[in-house]
Amino acid sequence: MPYTSDPTERVTPRILIIAGSDSGGGAGIQADIKTVSALGGHAMTAITAITAQNTVGVHAVHLVPPEIVRAQIDAVVGDIGFDAVKIGMLGSPAIAQVTADWLEQVDAPVVFDPVMIATSGANLADAETIAGFERIMRLASVVTPNLPELRALGGRDAVLSHGCHLIEKGGHGDGYYLTDRLFSPSGEQLRSLEGKRFDTDSTHGTGCTFASALATALGWGYPIGDAFEVAVRFVRLAILEAPGLGAGHGPMGQQYVHEYQDAEEWPGACPL
């Protein structure tokens, strides 16, 4: 769907993000908003947790009451509507169940990024919360774990048994090259993209960014395979454009990815 400078003719995909806030701006809601905006979408949020964190680590977490999470969802959906949903950090079993309750009535692409551990190593989901992921996976269109998260969820077959697509992100693998893979619910590998590993610490928020880019492409109406490729390329470009901030795992440069685009086609063709 081509971009137009005339706002009266412009169609903007509406992406609802259910996730935690990162005060350092590298991951979570902040990375999600930057990504959705860079890809031409409108980001709406239901914040599940407020974290005090930076590039070095997570220093404190305050969970939002489940009823407030649901109130945020109802407020934006009832007025603005949505074209796709991205789910990230949930923080508690109660928030997971409230989210799943709402997903029961959703007829739109749902991307679930099962956030468990921050890039810094901080634990963002206890065992009971992870157990609550089961219901959400049954309702999601696609689940996007990294390799440690995939192992914690029981592996490829266990995730696919919920009837969702699966994207295995290869960033935590070994070697000079990494591979991201897309699987259908039947277990068929639909797409695979290989790329060299970047020698950088500016990788804070890669999972959040990937899932939000995927949700935005799906919101634009892209088939799952094409949306997968858009998300992979967006993350790699955002890593290359990282501004080099902080003393630890720094944020990426989502705001600069648009410089790679052809203005005549952006964001409809997403030639990443």
Active-site residue, selected from the candidate residues 24, 169, 170, 219: 169
Active-site residue, selected from the candidate residues 207, 219, 250, 253: 207
**Residue 207 catalytic?**
yes
* Integer Cα distance of 40 and 14 in angstroms: 10
Amino acid letter, residue 195: G
**Residue 12 φ/ψ region, left for φ over 0, alpha for ψ in the -120 to 50 degree band, beta for the rest:** beta
**Residue 205 catalytic?**
yes
Q: Do the Cβ atoms of 220 and 267 come closer than 8 Å?
A: yes
**Residue 203 catalytic?**
yes
**Residue 208 catalytic?**
yes
Beta bridge partners of 84: 15
Active-site residue, selected from the candidate residues 208, 219, 250, 270: 208
- The pair of structure tokens assigned to 167 is 């994207």
**Residue 169 catalytic?**
yes
- Could you tell me how far CA 12 lies from the centroid of its own chain? 18
The β-bridge relationship of strands 110-112 and 84-87 is: parallel
Active-site residue, selected from the candidate residues 55, 119, 206, 209: 206
Cβ contacts of 72 within 8 Å, gap of 6 or more: 45, 46, 47
Helix (DSSP H) and strand (DSSP E) numbers for the chain: 8, 9
Name the residues annotated as catalytic: 169, 203, 205-208
